[in-house]
A and B are shown apart, each in its own frame.
Chain A
Amino acid sequence: MKQSRWQQATYRHPYLFALLLLAVAFTVNALLQPNLLEPTTLNSNMRVFLPLILVAVGQAIVMIGGGIDISVGSIVSVTNAILATQIGLSGDLSTAGVIMGVALLAGMGAGALNGLCVAYLRLQPIITTFATSFIYSGLALFILPNPGGGVPSRLTAFYRETIILWLPLAFYVIALILLIWAAIRRTRYGRYLYAVGGKADAAYETGVPVRAVQFSTYVISGFMAALGGIAMTLLTGSGNAQVGDPLTLSSITAAVIGGTPLSGGAGGVAGPMIGAIILGLIRNIISFANVATWWQTFVNAAIIVLALATPGIINLVRRRNR
């Protein structure tokens, strides 16, 4: 079947649709909130979006490798529980640094368990990471049975209020990740990742270490989820063992809106970042458009479904017109 030009364009540039959507969402948001581009407003938005952006990047890398990670939300919760109980509201900065390192290691450890089960025990990703999500959310509750604890205000202030050259901290984090990703894509590992996600059998035949690559995607995802958890904890400043729950499904939505198909082997990291920002902007729009409280969930979900359906509708219309 001959592909339409739209299909070709979206295939070559998986971020194309996400960028269009971002432009629309941004414009609508800017109309409702005229000071959107002022550094302080930009900062207050981006610091809220950053945790999901980080988690979505990890989710996207797992999806490119042909898997899915349902446990990311629970890993965020574990990180939050570790930071809130071990650093404490009056902790000093050097302890905080050590504990954050421990939290990142814990995230990678959780990812390694996922990777071990999926890649080496050959279990189905969705059900495996669902099972481990129980282990991790149980662990988070074990560490922090009741909401409480927190991190020192000096740390939260650094996360919430750092603006360098008019741009909030989140931009520098995003730029750093994009740079690292650009470097990784050029390595052999980058090519392996897409090969494994696209056709694992063929990749195996040509000598790609399929299992090791699959394993690594879950470790990366666990690391990114822990990073997201650190951002989340610095944002809220407090501990709650269920804080990560909503991030699991949002991260999948963000990755898909950002042009990463669930079938694997395609997509990237910039798209899911845009996807996460779009999800945040939609929430902003709804709250600034004075949508009645009881309608907000519905309107939010309906816009997301419409966004997911649009590429399909465009294809359908184009095929009919030919």
Chain B
Amino acid sequence: MKRLTISPPLAAVLLAIVLFLLSGFLPNGFGGNLDVATAQAINIVRLSVFLGIIAAGQTLVIISGGEGIDLSTGAVVTLTAILTYTIVNGRNEQVLPALLAVLVVGGLIGLVNGAGIAFLAISPLVMTLGMAGVVSGLILVITHGNVSGAVAPIMTQLIARPVLLGIPGAILIWAVFAALMWLLLERTAFGRRLFAIGANRTTARLSGINVTGMVIATYALSGMLAGLGGFLVVGNTGVVHIRIGDPFLFPSIAAVAVGGTLLTGGKGSYFGTMAGALVLTLITSLLTTMQMQESVRRMVLGATLLTMIAIYGRQRGFRQ
């Protein structure tokens, strides 16, 4: 069987570029105007940042293997977005405490996920699904359906507005974040152990890796990153509602898969996830620009996703 030699992250980036160029020919596309094209491109990348950072935690748990997945991501994003909104309440000096709070809360939720998975042997999908329900319930208990608060001016300034050479802060944050993720995965003991437990838990344990500790740490980290995502999402939108995180849940998994990270664990990269987030965001916003009906939009999104994973998400066959 012919194998594609092009790597999935690169394929996703190329696909994004081609799609973007094609979108210029749409009736309300940028046409030949380079300035408008640049502005649109920057805007797409800016919108991808939030999915990209939320999907970072998802990347880690998926690499960790053992059917690893985090379905509590959406609920954690919602909870932490609401927390940020209430704690900050329009004051600049409250931004750092809020950031700290969302990291701790997200981390604690992840810790419980990890403990349930590692100690009680509950499958990750079910454990995090249950946790998503608990967190959604908590949100209703705390907010009673309506949230009061506000984001701080400095958050809007740093996240949503251009900061340097017309580039929005969110993109700069993403660049730094990506460098940190690369360091974590490729240059630290944690990263090496993560790939090791993802490839084979038994051999990892025999070579002296504390698998239980690693699993718990990975889920805690995933929760923290979802918390960071919630913080950034609310900083971008400036408003919050009690389902704000839901639309990020399955796309965060799809971004990881489209980026070429094996859903069975042990192999993958954050760059792939970034490319996946870019493609998914681009397709979603293209479908919105084309003013399609919601029904057609969903069908096209589903079919595109299916095509992308069919191109390079295939598992190995038996006859090899």
Contacts and interface: CB of A to CB of B under 8 A. Distances in A.
A289 interface: no
B116 A124 contact: no
Contacts of A201: 318
Centre residue among B253, B306, B309 by max chain A CB count within 10 A: B306
A123 B126 contact: no
Interface string B115-139: 0100111110111011101101110
Interface in B72-88: none
B253 A127 contact: yes
A145 B310 CA distance: 30
Contact of A145 (B121, B295, B318): B295
Contacts of A263: 67, 123
B137 A298 contact: yes
Interface string A59-79: 000000000100000000000
A299 interface: yes
B134 A294 contact: no
B144 A294 contact: yes
Centre residue among B69, B129, B293, B314 by max chain A CB count within 10 A: B129
B123 A256 contact: yes
Contact of A262 (B67, B250, B294, B315): B67
Interface in A245-282: 249, 252-253, 256, 261-263
Interface string A101-143: 0000000000000000100011110111011111111111110
A90 to B, nearest CB: 26
Interface string A295-314: 11111111011001100110
Interface of B is mostly: helix
Interface stretch (B90-98, B218-226, B297-305): B297-305
Nearest to B304: A131
A309 B138 CA distance: 19
A263 B34 CA distance: 52
Contacts, number: 153
B253 A312 contact: no
B299 A134 contact: yes
A13 B91 CA distance: 58
A315 interface: yes
A302 B134 contact: yes
A133 B254 CA distance: 13
Given A122-B317, A141-B295, A131 B129 contact: no
B8 to A, nearest CB: 13
A302 B133 CA distance: 8
Give the size category of A's interface with B.
35 or more
A88 B255 CA distance: 41
Given A262-B67, A262-B126, A302-B134, A131 B317 contact: no
B121 to A, nearest CB: 5
Given A127-B313, A298-B138, 14 more contacts: A122-B314, A123-B310, A124-B313, A126-B263, A130-B253, A131-B306, A134-B301, A138-B301, A141-B298, A204-B318, A256-B123, A294-B140, A308-B122, A313-B120
12 contacts: A126-B69, A126-B125, A126-B263, A130-B305, A131-B305, A132-B306, A138-B302, A141-B294, A263-B67, A301-B133, A308-B122, A309-B122
Interface of B: 67, 69, 116, 119-123, 125-127, 129-131, 133-134, 136-138, 140-141, 144-145, 250, 253-254, 257, 263-264, 293-303, 305-306, 309-310, 313-318
Closest 10 CB pairs of A and B: A298-B137, A312-B120, A134-B302, A301-B133, A138-B298, A138-B299, A141-B295, A135-B302, A142-B295, A131-B305
